Structure 1
Amino acid sequence: MTIQPGLPKPEAIIFDMDGTLFKTETLLIPVHHQVFEQLRLEKLYEGATPPEELMLSCLGMLLEDIWKKVIPDSSEAVHRRADELLLEFELAGLKTHPTELYPGVADTLTKLKQRGVRLFVASNGLEHYVKGVAEAHGIAHLFEGLYSAGQYQTASKTELVKLLLDRHGVSRAWMVGDRSSDVEAGKQNHQTVIGCAYAGFGHDQELEGSDILISSFEELLELFEHSHL
């Protein structure tokens, strides 16, 4: 990371969850297989489980769009049942699987909060999943708000971030995420975008348009210290 002294100091930082704070594959890979095993048991799906890589490549999308890509030939009813199973197995998995945040997440968030930064999450995931991850890893108390498409029924990350900014009276924020939807949400809401290049779920152009890219979460603190009002 090359420090750019021109970045404005944020009053708030908004984080994506999957691929930004949470090392999602530590939960999603085992759960992915459980979902399709159950769908086969319920006679709702036949054939092999779709590749793990396909599911991981969909991180950051709304659930309805994920299933259209992962099981495009299945019905809407099957997609909705997959929603239910995914949430059920993810919530159980947070208690039983050794899931992980990215290195330095809890410590960096704590230090940013100590410096007076208001912290938020904006995720395209389901409400109980987003809150469950934060609670399972002991970081929920650090956030002023945990916003999810599942809770607010927003059609895009851009809409979700606008709702968050308006509700909390935030005018100067950093949007931190690993997908093009995060870049779009930040830019369309006229905020600074910090692209997380360490997850590796997207293609090379995924973070195009970010103001700066970071290769580890801890770099955020240094970036904040070098920003200015």
Structure 2
Amino acid sequence: MERKTVELPRPDAMIFDMDGTLFKTETLLVPVFHKVFDRLREEELYAGETPPEELILGCLGMLLPDIWRRVLPHQSETVHRRADDLLLEFELEGLQQLDTELYPQVLETLQELKRCGVRLFVASNGLEHYVKGVAEAHRILPLFEGIFSAGEYKTATKVDLVKLLLDRHGVSRAWMVGDRSSDVEAGKRNGLTVIGCAYAGFGDGSELAGSDVLIGSFGELIPLYDQAKEA
């Protein structure tokens, strides 16, 4: 995509969001979403139609409690926690049974970045077994030095999760790569360069405001890295 010329510092590491950045989430989430509501109705925990798919897709990047407060605003915490369990169960099943997808050029780009000596990490607001399950199912798990999830570390915000990652791995010069405002905030508040992924299209037009650069495909990371300035 067209972008203004920006001189970026060359990173030692890149930190990636998962949903909407590496993983084409709708290839898993849409069928799983319907299964969750079918089961909630079977268990008499929910009555009525399944909410629109666009509603949960618009919540990608949020913590699960915030997602269910938006998708199931009139249901109890008991229903929300049951929805958590069902979502994870059906997602893990789906990763084995459904034809899910990474975005184009993700595998090749990650391999090239690693070959160039870039340390690779994931920071996601998702559940631990889901985030690691996606990476394992799509054979990118060995490329990452660390996979950090809000589900595993119980962080309240992505800002906190990224700070934990930076501290634990001694990372000081990194790019935060993601598609949601929470990624932009996590990067900026931790002093990182932010690369906004504009290809998923789950958020509104202001979602990536504040990014240093917007990319229209994952493969654009390679020329950005090649052109970045050594410290």
TM-score (norm 1): 0.99
1:73 aligned partner, one-letter code? H
Residue 90 of structure 2 corresponds to residue 89 of structure 1: yes
Partner of 1:2: 3
Kindly indicate whether the alpha-carbon contact (under 8 Å) linking 2:6 and 2:213 is maintained by their aligned counterparts in 1.
no
TM-score (norm 2): 0.98
Partner of 2:63: 62
* Displacement after TM superposition at 1:3 (Å): 6.4
Partner of 2:153: 152
Once the two structures are aligned, what percentage of the paired residues are identical? 70
Number of residue equivalences: 229
Residue 29 of structure 2 corresponds to residue 40 of structure 1: no
Kindly indicate whether the alpha-carbon contact (under 8 Å) linking 2:128 and 2:151 is maintained by their aligned counterparts in 1.
yes
Alpha-carbon deviations, 1:135-170, whole Å to 9, x = none? 000000000001000000000000000000000000
* Displacement after TM superposition at 1:6 (Å): 1.5
- Call closer, same or farther: CA 1:5–1:50 in 2, change over 3 Å: closer
Kindly indicate whether the alpha-carbon contact (under 8 Å) linking 1:3 and 1:223 is maintained by their aligned counterparts in 2.
no
Kindly indicate whether the alpha-carbon contact (under 8 Å) linking 1:108 and 1:217 is maintained by their aligned counterparts in 2.
yes
Q: CA RMSD in A?
A: 0.7
2:178 aligned partner, one-letter code? G
Residue 136 of structure 2 corresponds to residue 128 of structure 1: no
Instruction: Please give the alpha-carbon distance, in whole angstroms, between the structure 1 residues aligned to 2:69 and 2:6.
Output: 42
Kindly indicate whether the alpha-carbon contact (under 8 Å) linking 1:5 and 1:228 is maintained by their aligned counterparts in 2.
no
* Displacement after TM superposition at 1:76 (Å): 0.3
* Displacement after TM superposition at 1:205 (Å): 0.1
Q: State the SS of the aligned residue for 1:147.
A: strand
Instruction: Please give the alpha-carbon distance, in whole angstroms, between the structure 2 residues aligned to 1:51 and 1:147.
Output: 30
Partner of 1:182: 183
> Where do 5+ consecutive residues of structure 1 fail to align?
none
Q: State the SS of the aligned residue for 1:30.
A: helix
> Where do 5+ consecutive residues of structure 2 fail to align?
none
1:42 aligned partner, one-letter code? E
* Displacement after TM superposition at 1:128 (Å): 0.1
Instruction: Please give the alpha-carbon distance, in whole angstroms, between the structure 2 residues aligned to 1:123 and 1:111.
Output: 22
Partner of 1:53: 54
Partner of 2:19: 18
Kindly indicate whether the alpha-carbon contact (under 8 Å) linking 1:3 and 1:226 is maintained by their aligned counterparts in 2.
no
Partner of 2:210: 209
Partner of 1:173: 174
Segments ≥4 residues shifted beyond 3 Å: 1-5
Alpha-carbon deviations, 1:73-114, whole Å to 9, x = none? 000010000000000000000000000000000000000000
1:61 aligned partner, one-letter code? M
* Displacement after TM superposition at 1:4 (Å): 3.3
Instruction: Please give the alpha-carbon distance, in whole angstroms, between the structure 2 residues aligned to 1:116 and 1:181.
Output: 27
Instruction: Please give the alpha-carbon distance, in whole angstroms, between the structure 2 residues aligned to 1:4 and 1:139.
Output: 31
Instruction: Please give the alpha-carbon distance, in whole angstroms, between the structure 2 residues aligned to 1:48 and 1:162.
Output: 40
